[in-house]
Chains A and B, each alone.
Chain A
Amino acid sequence: MSEPLLKVQGLKTHFFLERGVVKAVDGVDFEIKKGEIFGLVGETGCGKSVTSLSILRLIPSPPGKIVEGEVIFEGENLLKKSKEEMRKIRGTKISMIFQDPHTSLDPVFTVGHQIAEPIELHQVIEQHLISAEEVPRKVIEMLKLVRIPDPEHRVVEYPHMFSGGMKQRTMIAMMLSCNPSLLIADEPTTAVDVTIQAQILDLMRELRQKLGMSILIITHNLGVIAEMCDRVAVMYAGNIVEQADLKTLFKSPKHPYTHALLEAVPKVGTKKGKLASIPGMVPSLITPPPGCKFHPRCPHAMDICRKKFPQMSEIEKGQLARCFLYGGGAKK
């Protein structure tokens, strides 16, 4: 297997607040291969968005700080880059789509203007790839790529004239305009309806085929994960608790949290009755429980779970879990 495109190692991002240190991301490791769609799934506050913002060094500081770890992208550690170098990487090599397309577009500029901006900055001024005269043509080309109807006319319209789905596609056009090798999509379809969601997901999959980029999808929606990803990592309270290829994770989840999460989703076609639910609540990230952070809610909790923090261990090829049920104490 070739060198991974992105390798996150021991990433810890903490927020230093008056009431204490919030350990939002507390030791996260994963890799994304070239051309792969990797999913990061978890509930509110598990640290999935902070992980993605840390990769792009977009953590507001203060109060946030990346205290430890490495983010190796194309062989270089992004955490060691200067601000200027990072600015050049964002948009050209790694770009990001956010959850809410309504707030990610600037209402006072036309859609075309906003797509043109990164192209002018990166491809015309910095890299001299294309000339300034070619920019409008490129903008329309991008709008065509994401299937905005009648792009020649829509390009001069303002974001409020676009529907939610079209705005999100505009965002995708903007992000892809400089041919990034990694696209980070943070809840890309949470703000749109299901029929539009299906359009956006199909578009993203198709663009991956066409452009050969890798995608990191961050979502709480297990349906989106099941449909899109090649490999998946499940996060809980700042750590990855399980990681596997898609089919293995859904077919034989190992970590009790993954198991519970999959059971708790109401699915079409199931009988009415009790949904499996996870007792208790997500722990505080300031004072997480000792040992395994999931043990107070875990039906299989043992003595050791209350005392020691489990390590990731490989159960089967490519499937890792952080749980003592599967020898999580390999490194004692």
Chain B
Amino acid sequence: MISEVPEAKIKEAEAKETATPGEAKASEEKLIEIKGLKKYFLTKRGIFAREMKWVHAVDDVNFYIRKGEVFGLVGESGCGKTTVGKLILGLIRPTAGEIYFDGHNLTEYNVEELRKLRKRAGIIYQHPQSSLNPRMTVHTTLSRPMEIHKIAEGGKKEEIILRVLGEVGLKPQHLDRYPHEFSGGQQQRIAIGRVLVLNPEFVVLDEPTSALDVSVQAHILNLLNELQSKFDLTYLLISHDLGIIDHMSDRIGVMYVGKMVELADKEELRKNALHPYTRLLFAVVPIVDPEQTRKGVVLKGEVPSAINPPPGCRFHPRCPYAKPICKTEPKFEDVGGGHYVACHLWRTISKESSR
């Protein structure tokens, strides 16, 4: 263990030297802060079901996003990561909790104020095919947001459109075409352009490349990285793919069935993950290198339903370390250095594994 420390430090120093501008810019200033955020959805199951049930999509989540950073939110389907993204943009209203955007509490905003917020905060969805209007040409798609927010008109508007088009790697002759005439990667570029014309500060990237092939995915991720440093953007990157999250983010939050179970700097999380679920997640990702084998123990069981989540720590039915105490709610506690974890047993677990 001791011999590893200097090596890690060297690597850290190396990382700093070659850091991209976007990475260095992240400041301590909080752009977004979330306190006790909850969102429950009401659901009816089955055709004849009279019983209404609550889906605990997001259940008491706390975190903040610094200005200029990429915050990665990772988790499996149904863990509530997309709901968090939508809540931050005011696209859906929370059941409880507070969301601060640049110091203002969004949850108190009325419809008009929320609309104004969307000039400063945009979203890019997973499927460009369904998030672009099929009846709008690229030109209309890019100019409509500026008309709605009264940003620019006439010649100035055209100027912005052409500039943004260049930034996202499209050509002026594409302007009169419709979305179906483009490939998936190009469609995603249009969707990125639609957000950029408003010159936002904050963008939610909700699985931006899940619908794309590996080689196209690389194009889009590179583009998003470039744009971030060029326009001082802050990203909330939502993905189930730990590879993408790890590649893009500065800090990472791990969600499991509506709860945030761990949050830390990327490097810290990779080297020193404390929550058993985070460890599992890192362990089960297939490694693109046949020389290394997946070290992970494969856990039995499946992700529980968010309708009747297990009491206490939601991971305890699958957790190999679970003790009776885990049936009570763990605190999301600071273990130092901005590393947070929601686990009763993290101290004993980290000791056991470092032995």
Contact surface of A with B, Cβ cutoff 8 Å: 43-44, 163, 165-166, 193-199, 201-202, 220-224, 226-227, 246-247, 250-251, 260-262, 264-278, 281-282
A222 to B288, CA, bound (A): 6
- Give the chain B neighbours of A226 by CB distance below 8 A: 286-290
The stretch from B123-131, B139-147, B241-249, B331-339 touching chain A is B241-249
B213, B219, B248: the one contacting A44 at CB < 8 Å is B213
- Check if B246 sits within 8 Å of A269, measured CB to CB: yes
CB distance from B281 to the nearest CB of A (A): 7
Q: List 8 A-B contacts (CB under 8 A).
A: A43-B213, A193-B303, A201-B286, A220-B213, A251-B291, A273-B20, A278-B218, A282-B213
Q: Known interface pairs A247-B290, A281-B185. Does A222 touch B240 (Cβ–Cβ under 8 Å)? A: no
B219, B247, B287, B299: the one contacting A266 at CB < 8 Å is B247
Q: How many A-B residue pairs have CB under 8 A?
A: 130
CB distance from A76 to the nearest CB of B (A): 33
When C-beta atoms are compared, the residue in chain A nearest to B294 turns out to be A227
- Check if A277 sits within 8 Å of B222, measured CB to CB: yes
B218, B284, B291: the one contacting A264 at CB < 8 Å is B218
- Check if A43 sits within 8 Å of B185, measured CB to CB: no
CB distance from A91 to the nearest CB of B (A): 28
A261 to B140, CA, bound (A): 35
Task: Please indicate which of the listed interface residues A165, A260, A266, A278 has the most CB atoms of chain B within 10 Å of its own CB.
Answer: A266
- Check if B302 is an interface residue, CB within 8 A of chain A: yes
- Check if A199 sits within 8 Å of B222, measured CB to CB: no
B94-139 residues with Cβ-Cβ distance < 8 A to A are none
- Check if A265 sits within 8 Å of B243, measured CB to CB: yes
- Give the chain B neighbours of A272 by CB distance below 8 A: 19-20, 23, 225, 247-248
A268 to B243, CA, bound (A): 5
- Give the chain B neighbours of A262 by CB distance below 8 A: 288
- Check if A265 sits within 8 Å of B287, measured CB to CB: no
- Check if B215 sits within 8 Å of A269, measured CB to CB: no
Known: A226-B289, A272-B23, A281-B185. 10 other contacts (CB 8 A): A163-B302, A194-B281, A196-B302, A197-B284, A198-B296, A261-B215, A269-B246, A272-B20, A274-B222, A275-B247
- Check if B281 sits within 8 Å of A195, measured CB to CB: yes
Q: Known interface pairs A222-B214, A250-B290, A265-B288. Does A271 touch B15 (Cβ–Cβ under 8 Å)? A: yes
Q: Known interface pairs A267-B243, A277-B218. Does A198 touch B287 (Cβ–Cβ under 8 Å)? A: no
- Give the chain A neighbours of B242 by CB distance below 8 A: 194, 268
A267 to B183, CA, bound (A): 25
A278 to B222, CA, bound (A): 12
A251 to B290, CA, bound (A): 9
A190 to B247, CA, bound (A): 21
- Give the chain B neighbours of A271 by CB distance below 8 A: 15, 18
- Give the chain B neighbours of A195 by CB distance below 8 A: 76, 280-281, 284, 298-299, 303
A247 to B291, CA, bound (A): 7
